[in-house]
Amino acid sequence: MVCVDQFFWTTDKEIVDAQWLYNQCPLLLNAIVKNALNLNPHIVTTIKATTPTNSTYKTNLNTLLSSLSSPSNNGNGYGFYNLSYGENPDQVYAIGLCRGDVTVDFCRGCLSNATQQITQGCPNQKEAFGVIEQCTLRYSNRSIYGAMETFPPLMWYNAQNVPSDVDGFSQELNTLLEDLRGQAAGNGSLRKFAVGTATFPNFQNVYGLAQCTPDLTEQVCFVNTTTIRPLPSSPSPLSSPPPPPLSSPPPPSTSTGGSKSDKSRTVIIIVVPIVVSVVLIVMFFCICLRVRRTKKKLETGKLIPGNDDTDEIGSAESLQFDLATIRVSTNDFSEANKLGQGGFGSVYRGRLLNGNDIAVKRLSTNSGQGDLEFKNEVLLAAKLQHRNLVRLLGFCLEGSERLLVYEFVLNASLDHIIFDPTKRAQLDWGRRYKIIVGTARGLLYLHEDSRLKIIHRDLKASNILIDAEMNPKISDFGMARLFVPDQTQGNTSRIVGTFGYMAPEYAMRGHFSVKSDVYSFGVLVLEIVSGQKNSGFRHGENAEDLLSFAWRSWREGTASNLIDPTLKTGSRNEIMRCIHIGLLCVQENVADRPTMASVILMMNSYSFTLPLPSQPAFYLHRSIASDMSLRSEYNSGATRSDRSKSNSVIVMEYETFTEPHPR
């Protein structure tokens, strides 16, 4: 996304003028002295089309930028902010990045300053990029997450001379920066940041810093940094080096071998074009052959489009576990190691020979996919990495066995805590709010920021795992793709999900979209606030579904009755706002439900006025609580006409009791 290539050096510990190369590529390279960088460039570069002052796009932009530096918005926790707001064609995307060694408060203040500068300098632009102090800010009317840019370039020079051996200095400096590139690129998906130092003869130490934006992969980050231009030889920022003196004319030749020289020249003139032609012809045929092979692999499903086939083959091999290793780690899938059973299969705890704990999902055999399609889907799922998603480590495909290997998450799933009358007291409001926001960010990543648009289709409390720091991690994302390939939105005759969390348009008609996940998220929010399940919700002697009670209480002005009595502390305004957001997410009209980007904005910005929710899509208004359960995959062989005859059953029956997920 944003690349700031910086080079600083000095003969003392004082900061002098600097050279910055701003390329819209993913790297920040720095060579500086010990003291912190203290620069104050206020640069705002505007790009592309303009927009009227009173336009919807301008309103969305102002709303989005006002929430960027909100005290409740910590980005990814490491100085990287990615937000979007609105609906096409007036949707706004924004990304902020702070230098990796600044504090959260400094970062937030820098972005606040950047917001003011960029709105003043670019009042009516649809796309702009600003560099303020130690942070960068960019907004656009197109998605810019993970996108490479090479515009606009900016440059400053260091005006101080290298005392001696300029070539040696440049060589050592380039070695330092090259090492930092690799370290920063390989430092994970949250913060790609590295520092280092180099010592030069007859010169002070030079300290280097490299930082890549975390929205790019390690390979893209490292490879694209090679496009950063080399340091110029001249140390002066104000003038070009003087031209070299003209050389004296060569002395007259006294050789008598002129005829031999002419013959050699003639041979060269004839041979070189022939050799070049042959090389070009060979290269042309090689390129044609490679294109033909790639096209054939794409047609047969052996290659994921948009990736190099060699890389994909290597990735598949690196992700593949052998069955014997997994059998040993899980004690041959013993019942003692079994963590849960769900619609997609059983989950077992395992321990590899290196001591690392894993969770192994043993998939049921009714996938309907071929081996190649299964591998491709696993490769895509493995590339989905976010702090609020359970990480897929690999797979095993031997005989009839199809296994998925996940990271092991220490604590139980959310349903084991939030629905337990005793354990849920451990979740004060601060932890519950952290779980709500983290789940929202994970869903936003799946919907908008990942390489694919992933619709979860089975978001529920038992699919939210809680790690040792009480951070939520969404599991089973992408499972619908593994069992129902090539469906990310539209209609389906095969329902994959859990009743009680499923949006009505999906449960009744098989229609699904990102708004289906938004509905499930709304149910989950209301469950976290109340500490009770949607199905069989009880308030006093009355038993009714949670959504009915929440809506009725909201209209009667008694929404506080929904709050879990064990919540003794916490911001009452924040809790009521979450109830409000939850009701917005479960509205019956699909178009009225917010996107996950809007949900994040509502949570981060209290200046954003929430619309009034309309009536939710009820399954039950008031009834006797039912203990009936239904499998996650409803009527796996049923057609839509079969389901239409069973709508009364769908209305009356609720969620399956499952815990199929890696811990």
Q: Mind spelling out the 3-state secondary structure of 52-90?
A: CCCCHHHHHHHHHHHHHCCCCCCCCCCCEEEEEECCCCC
Q: Is the pLDDT of residue 202 over 90?
A: no
Q: Which CATH class is domain 42-155?
A: alpha beta
Winning range, highest mean pLDDT, from 380-384, 399-403, 585-589, 637-641: 585-589
Is residue 352 within 8 Å of residue 325, measured between CB atoms?
Answer: yes
Please report which confidence band the pLDDT of residue 478 belongs to, taking 50, 70 and 90 as the band edges.
low
* 254-267 average pLDDT score: 59
Report DSSP letters for 197-221, one per residue. EE--TTS--EEEEEEE-TTS-HHHH
- Closest by Cα among 114, 115, 118, 100 to 44: 118
pLDDT band (50, 70, 90) for residue 466: very high
Determine contact, residues 34/57, Cβ cutoff 8 Å.
Answer: no
Nearest Cα to Cα of residue 662 among 468, 484, 502, 464: 464
- Please state whether beta strands 80-85 and 92-98 pair in parallel, antiparallel, or not at all (unpaired): antiparallel
Region 479-501 average pLDDT: 61
How does pLDDT run across 364-390, given as a tens digit for each residue?
Answer: 766 555 566 677 778 777 888 899 999
Q: In this structure, what token pair is assigned to residue 571?
A: 């911001």
Q: Is 5 a known active-site residue?
A: no
pLDDT in the model for residue 154: 63
pLDDT at 337: 93
Q: Is residue 444 pLDDT above 50, yes or no?
A: yes
Compute the average pLDDT of residues 575-595. 95
Tell me the per-residue pLDDT of 108-149, one tens digit each, with 9 for 90 and over: 889 888 888 888 888 888 888 888 778 889 899 888 887 777
Q: Which stretches within 151-299 are classed as H helix?
A: 166-185, 218-224, 258-299
pTM assigned to the model? 0.55
β strands within 461-563, DSSP E = 464-466, 472-474, 490-491, 495-496, 511-512, 538-539, 542-543
- For the chain, the domains span 42-155, 315-407, 414-487+498-652
Q: Where do the DSSP E strands lie in 513-614?
A: 538-539, 542-543
In this predicted structure, the answer to whether residue 483 has a pLDDT above a threshold of 80 is no
As a whole number of angstroms, the distance between CA 283 and CA 497 comes to 52
pLDDT at position 236 is 34
What is the number of other CB atoms lying within 10 angstroms of the CB of residue 59? Answer: 15
Q: Exposure string (b/e) for 350-367, b if CB count within 10 Å is 16 or more?
A: beeeeeeebbbbbbeeeb
Q: Is the pLDDT of residue 536 over 80?
A: no
Give residue 636's pLDDT. Answer: 33
Strand-pair partners of 634: 495
45 pLDDT exceeds 70? no
Class of domain 315-407: alpha beta
Handedness of CA 281, 282, 283, 285 (dihedral sign): positive
CA 230 to chain centre: 31
> What is residue 350's predicted lDDT score, i.e. its pLDDT?
94
Domain 414-487+498-652 has CATH 3.30.420.280: no
Read off the tokens for 228. Answer: 């950063």
Question: What pLDDT, on the 0 to 100 scale, is given for residue 411?
Answer: 84
Q: Is the peptide bond before 152 cis (omega within 30 degrees of 0)?
A: yes
Q: Are 68 and 46 in contact (CB under 8 A)?
A: no
Catalytic residue among 5, 415, 458, 564: 458
Pick the more confident residue, 91 or 231.
Answer: 91
Binding residues for ATP: 361
Amino acid at 140: S
